[in-house]
Structure 1
């Protein structure tokens, strides 16, 4: 099951409060401003700054 589009519209980056977008694989949320990827596990976005990975380490 994919992440709900309405939920995606409500979520913001917890670090900068900016917009986020779904990555190409659909398994992470990208903040272009912070260059961070927040993983999605079991259809639940993990929106913890300390759990985010640098965008350079993942494929968008």
Structure 2
């Protein structure tokens, strides 16, 4: 069977993760499959259900 386009992500993991730059909590954007750091204005991608918590891989969030 084909996997759904959105990978399941354990919301409990979000509570354990913080922004690697600011050490502040992250929020989850299910539509874009990203973890958002509002303090750093960065969006960290989730690839294959695994958060990529590297600042170099993060997307800058425009205001």
**TM-score bin (small chain):** 0.7 to 0.9
With the length of structure 2 as denominator, give the TM-score of the two structures: 0.81
Secondary structure of the residue aligned to 2:36 is strand
Deviation at 1:26, TM superposition (A): 4.9
SS in 2 for 1:6: helix
Moved over 3 A (4+): none
* Structure 2 unpaired stretches of 5+: 1-6
1:49 corresponds to: 55
| Structure 1 residue aligned with 2:3 | none
Aligned length: 56
Give the unaligned 5+ runs of structure 1.
none
Higher relative contact order (CA 8 A, sep 6+): 1
Superposed CA deviations along residues 25-53 of structure 1, whole A, max 9, x for unmatched, are 15000000100000000000000011111
2:26 matches 1:30 = no
What is the Cα-based RMSD across aligned positions, in Å?
A: 1.2
Q: Distance in 1 between matches of 2:23 and 2:13?
A: 15
